[in-house]
Amino acid sequence: MVTIKGPALFIAQFIGDEAPFNSLSSIAGWAASLGYKGLQIPTNDARFIDLQKAAESKTYAEEIKGIVQEYGLEITELSTHLQGQLVAVHPAYDDLFDAFAPAAYQRNPAARQQWAVQQLRYAAKASQNLGLSASATFSGALAWPFMYPWPQRPAGLVETTFNELAKRWLPILNYYDECGIDLCYEIHAGEDLHDGSSYELFLDKVNQHTRANLLYDPSHFVLQCLDYLEYIDIYHSRIKMMHVKDAEFNPTGRQGVYGGYQSWLNRAGRFRSLGDGQVDFKSVFSKLAQYDFPGWAVLEWECALKHPEDSVREGAPFIKNHIIRVTDHPFDDFAAAGVDQTLQRKILGIQ
């Protein structure tokens, strides 16, 4: 059995222009002072990691590791959420998603996509150079505007969508395989891979690729009214990463899953800080321990109410107290009668 590693922190929502949030060294020191043992690093800000350089220089990758290790931390994984989003963008979202790419690639969807694919490749090689085993991303979305079928979707639209997604992602997945890295899709609203059924459609199209794995985040499933515990039972062999994030869903007579175009604060479904929402984390951690989840418990802060620094301060002990140090022997070993073939046959009445 495997004990989950942690607590760790995804630093994407904390990066800023003021200390301690403006450099890898200072944010690592801040996280370590709060009890974290690992950092998950986004790859779109060169102040924290120059992704191309980390892919091309093992020396630089070792320097990045050294900065984090100086504070007793480990790099848990790299994140390419923003770049992965740009692998597949419906034209309705072009102007908004241009902000995720450098100015040189904006207003040019084909060039932007090529840039994103190269970024994913850099992340695979950088992860290898850093000695990591998994990396996080988004799938992007071509069919999201047609998620709710009214007017009804034309026959074959979903098939065409997932054929195209597979065409774009399969070469990337093959490269991750060459580098020995699991590519973990965060199953997330706004992505074509947003639940188990859509993930399975994708797996079918990429030939059940061994590197097409999952980042598990129960908060997104609370907002979809999906059984986030049974999800672990179904997909545990594919779950290689985890975000520990809470959420609540409180439908009213005015709104439900779709939120009525309200702000996050006023939606029926909203993200909360750990312990303030409805996720049954005792059961989540128990199931992941049961299935030998091999990764880190990584806090991601997204809360409609609580200040992020308070959430992060409270989050480290919350995660630490939920991680199950798995047993190294069965609880009833004291009553064992030993392994004796003769005795076993006698007990069973076998001559």
**Does pLDDT of 211 surpass 90?**
yes
By percentage, how much of the chain surpasses pLDDT 70? 98
Tell if the pTM clears 0.85, that is, is over it: yes
Q: Region 248-274: what's the mean pLDDT?
A: 97
Q: How many CA atoms lie within 13 A of 137 on its CB side?
A: 32
DSSP 8-state class, residue 153: P
Q: Does 345 or 125 have the greater pLDDT score?
A: 125
What is the per-residue pLDDT for 336?
67
Domain CATH number, residue 155: 3.20.20.150
- Other CB atoms within 10 A of residue 135 CB: 30
Q: pLDDT (tens digit, 9 = 90+) per residue, 103-121?
A: 999 999 999 999 999 999 9
Location of structure tokens 């220089």? 57
Contacts for 116 with CB less than 8 Å, ≥ 6 apart = 83, 84, 85, 86, 87, 101
Helices (H), the chain: 24-33, 51-56, 58-69, 81-85, 94-97, 109-130, 157-179, 196-205, 218-224, 228-235, 281-290, 308-322, 341-347
What is the per-residue pLDDT for 229?
98
What is the per-residue pLDDT for 330?
78
Q: Give the structural domain span for 253.
A: 5-347
If one counts the domains in the chain, the total is: 1
CA dist., res. 130 & res. 43, Å (int): 13
Residue pair 231/196 in contact (Cβ under 8 Å)? The answer is: yes
CA dist., res. 257 & res. 230, Å (int): 20
Q: Region 215-227: what's the mean pLDDT?
A: 98
Residue pair 293/4 in contact (Cβ under 8 Å)? The answer is: yes
Cis peptide before 218 (omega within 30 of 0): no
